[in-house]
């Protein structure tokens, strides 16, 4: 299984879909995974998975708000729109 660490600023619509599906009411303390990165810094993240990839989404002060905003605005987007106009396409 491929493991990918994702920064808040690099979230794609697909990852946001996974996040709001798994954590529709937000995430709790027990959902947070802590680990040390290569620089020895402690990183906190929440996990979402697809069939072949485990995403660890780094927690930031803006993550939960982005998830809430995405849920609120989800119905107003069509498949060709970018969330807030700046999310990169998933490769």
Mean pLDDT over each residue of the chain, to the nearest integer:
79
* Burial of 67 per CB tally in 10 Å (0-12, 13-18, 19+): buried
| pLDDT (tens digit per residue) in 19-62 | 989 998 888 989 999 988 889 888 899 999 999 999 999 987 67
Q: How many domains does the chain have?
A: 1
CA distance 7 to 10: 5
CA distance 82 to 51: 24
| Domain housing 73 | 2-77
Residue 22 lies inside a defined structural domain of this protein: yes
- Model confidence at 75: pLDDT above 60: no
- Strand, coil or helix: what is 49? strand
Mean pLDDT of 67-91: 55
Residue 64 lies inside a defined structural domain of this protein: yes
Residue 89 lies inside a defined structural domain of this protein: no
């Amino acid at each position: 299984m491929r493991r990918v660490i994702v920064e808040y600023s690099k979230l794609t619509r697909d990852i946001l879909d996974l996040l709001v599906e798994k954590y529709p009411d937000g995430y709790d303390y027990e959902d947070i995974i802590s680990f040390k990165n290569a620089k020895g810094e402690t990183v906190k993240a929440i996990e979402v998975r697809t069939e072949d990839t485990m995403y660890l989404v780094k927690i930031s002060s803006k993550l939960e708000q982005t998830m809430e905003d995405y849920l609120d605005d989800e119905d107003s987007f069509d498949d060709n729109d970018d969330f807030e106009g700046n999310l990169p396409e998933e490769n």
